Structure 1
């Protein structure tokens, strides 16, 4: 399973059609514009964008408010050695 490629588009929102729980359990990291980001809610490599959570703010449905930024996106599997 660790050798399978990461999806082109991935979301942490369980209601999204791009949510893949088994992939997220592996521990996915996202490097955006050369910097590791920890607040990525969704990404798309082919279109070159990420959705980042804006602080701790949520909308009326309890989902995080996000901002969409364009740039180079590099997802990777985080190592288990913490």
Structure 2
């Protein structure tokens, strides 16, 4: 049982669209202070870089491929997306 009255343990609501990249407008640093889990079509994913629940997609790295700035090349996978705190 978690204590939601203590602000230090209170977790912010998970946004509909979240990105790991701090340069993205969809990055929420307060959310990343807690361990987050992403489930796509009932399977836990540990390599998700960005997700959108309402549109039903996640972005994951395409192997070890990087673009010219050194960022991983991402591919979009579609399906039922669930985000949760672990």
Instruction: Report TM bin, short chain.
Output: 0.7 to 0.9
Higher-Rg member (1/2): 2
Q: 1:36 and 2:44 equivalent?
A: yes
Runs of 4+ in 1 over 2 A off after TM superposition: none
**TM-fit CA distance, 1:45:** 0.3
- Unaligned 5+ segments in structure 1 are none
- Counterparts of 1:22 and 1:62, CA distance in 2: 26
Aligned length: 77
Q: 64, 72, 76: which is aligned to 1:56? A: 64
TM-score (norm 2): 0.83
TM-score (norm 1): 0.87
